[in-house]
Amino acid sequence: MNAPYLVLAIVTLISTAPSLFFSAVEMRSTDPKTRVIAQYTTARSLALFLLAIVPLCGRFDGWLLAIAVAMLIVQAIDGAIALRARSAGMGTPLVNIIGPFATAVASAACIWWFLAAG
């Protein structure tokens, strides 16, 4: 495993953590509907997290690229959702917009480096 591969694998794994954390936290909600939605989102977030661990266990270029692109898309959509919520006056903190977009940019840069390294 070379540096571009490892950096992309680590950035991808890190990018899966926020959604897993926040969905797991919501599973403790007192609202039953919120808990059920959180269970669904935690299942999906846990799957992405586990899939992102695989590239750290060996050299799986195609696997890493697929999960990295998937997470780039997730982060870009998360940023767009937060931006839209803030525009609608929902009091969304600026960090909820900057964080996902910054992660998407970092992921894109790492994907580019990985592909350029061949």
Helices (H), the chain: 3-26, 32-53, 61-87, 95-117
| Residue 118 pLDDT greater than 90, yes or no | no
Total domains in the fold of the chain: 1
Write down the residue that tokens 């480096």 correspond to. Answer: 113
| Residue 57 pLDDT greater than 90, yes or no | yes
Burial of 105 (0-12, 13-18, 19+ CB in 10 A): middle
Structural domain including 113 reads 3-117
Q: What is the mean predicted confidence (pLDDT) over 29-58?
A: 94
Q: What pLDDT is stored for residue 62 in this prediction?
A: 96
Q: What pLDDT is stored for residue 90 in this prediction?
A: 87
pTM score: 0.89
| Residue 91 pLDDT greater than 90, yes or no | no
